[in-house]
Amino acid sequence: MHTVVVGTSGVSASDVLAVARGGARIELSAEAVAALAAAREIVDALAAKPDPVYGVSTGFGALATRHISQELRAQLQRNIVRSHAAGMGPRVEREVVRALMFLRLKTVCSGHTGVRPEVAQTMADVLNAGITPVVHEYGSLGCSGDLAPLSHCALTLMGEGDAEGPDGVVRPAGELLAEHGIQPVELREKEGLALLNGTDGMLGMLIMALADLDTLYKSADITAALSLEALLGTDKVLAPELHAIRPHPGQGASAANMLAVLKGSQLTGHHQDDAPRVQDAYSVRCAPQVAGAGRDTMAHARLVAERELAAAVDNPVVLPDGRVESNGNFHGAPVAYVLDFLAVAAADLGSIAERRTDRLLDKNRSHGLPPFLADDAGVDSGLMIAQYTQAALVSEMKRLAVPASADSIPSSAMQEDHVSMGWSAARKLRTAVDNLTRIIAIELYAATRAIELREGLSPAPASQAVIEAVRAAGVQGPGPDRFLAPDLAAADAFVRGGHLVTAVETVTGPLR
């Protein structure tokens, strides 16, 4: 099994995906263990002094003015975990919880939190055992970190609350730890606070969304090319020299992908035939500009994610010179913004895909295709309601594009009076990514059927490879009306699993 070694300088996005989705094992580097021990010495020294230090010998948030005596500090750390584990609503997905825990471990291992090495090792042990704390949908405002979600994870480390075992069954966390020979942690000064104070949930969801969107943007380039082909459009608008004079990198990449898919097609370039068109519609002609803008948004989001992956997010933090200083680095604004930006871009990509689908189904705009791509229009309704489904998904995407980060709601007796709502931005982005997959699948379904209805002209080799692969995957071609939901589900699985991109790349080589 793949092993990820956690050091002091952060982790990579591929490490997060390996742990969250691939079940990779985790090891702590010798460097990380040494840094953990050194930072703990600083915290222990401060804890022995009479002077109050936030997070070490005081209460938290609006209660930070109370100095806590030594005999109550262990109870203080337990209490912050128990009281903050106040999430409600549906359970969060296993991959999100694993990313959340792993990213908190990454920060702990930086040597800036003051957590003991044995606590960090327990975090790794829990992940390696396949134990997943039960984390709920609601409980994070994206400031002071993803507090309730991280608290539910910390509760598991203490052997309290509920968790899911490697068999998928939810049981008391203490039982699961005991079965795997893991000793529950007894938290000491600062440790409870350090386990809760991070942007780890929203960051983990950002990294996974970026991985999914990378495939979806390539998939959208492919379906846009298929729709252009089915509509007998021109590929001249994809010429590299046209995109070089507006040098947005994403636009150029998207146009190059579409051009690669269309190479060798007999269907393109017929826009001057029986019903001459000077130009194709915007949804066809401007596909690279819209998809390209989304790609460039993703590039910015990756930059933010990379910076956050290298960060040590906690409050207070242990500095190399021995100071323990309060800060505001837990504020989720940088991550929240890009999560919202991606939701906006995804909504627009879904919107333009739906417009192409609608054009394929409208006999007045499809340049010779039958109404709704039906076998016997009137007797058959064809893909009429598939487009309704796609339109409903697009409408929800637009609602999901409303930025969560534009909101703030004060908490903790106005001590935490401006928050990022980054967790909420991440949760709605996950829904948006799911919806975008379905939207692209419906365009794929319509475009492949439309191409097959163009008799006498051969599609591009890459397009033909897609048609053959998607039919082999159980998505049926043209014919009389039938139960459509299974076809759409199979198309969704085809796109979601990356098979659409793979089918094209067997002909074109790697897409950009």
Catalytic (active-site) positions: 54
Work out whether strand 162-164 and strand 132-133 pair parallel, antiparallel, or are unpaired: antiparallel
Interatomic CA distance for residues 60 and 326, integer angstroms: 12
Contact 115, 325 (CB under 8 A): no
Task: Report phi then psi at 511, rounded to 5.
Answer: -80, 165
68, 74, 189, 347 from 49: Cα distances, Å: 12, 16, 13, 55
Interatomic CA distance for residues 460 and 507, integer angstroms: 10
Interatomic CA distance for residues 224 and 272, integer angstroms: 20
C-alpha 491: how far from its chain's center? 21
Q: Within 10 Å of residue 365's Cβ, how many Cβ atoms? A: 12
Work out whether strand 136-138 and strand 88-91 pair parallel, antiparallel, or are unpaired: antiparallel
48, 105, 204 from 178: Cα distances, Å: 33, 21, 28
Within 231-264, residue ranges assigned H as helices are 240-244, 249-262
Closest CA to 308 of 288, 335, 284: 335
**Half-sphere exposure for 359 (CA within 13 Å, toward CB):** 24
Most distant CA atoms of the chain, gap in Å: 90
Closest CA to 433 of 368, 359, 345: 345
Contact 59, 65 (CB under 8 A): yes
Question: Which amino acid makes up residue 40?
Answer: R
Closest CA to 130 of 258, 7, 20, 281: 20
Q: Which two tokens stand for residue 242?
A: 């046209």
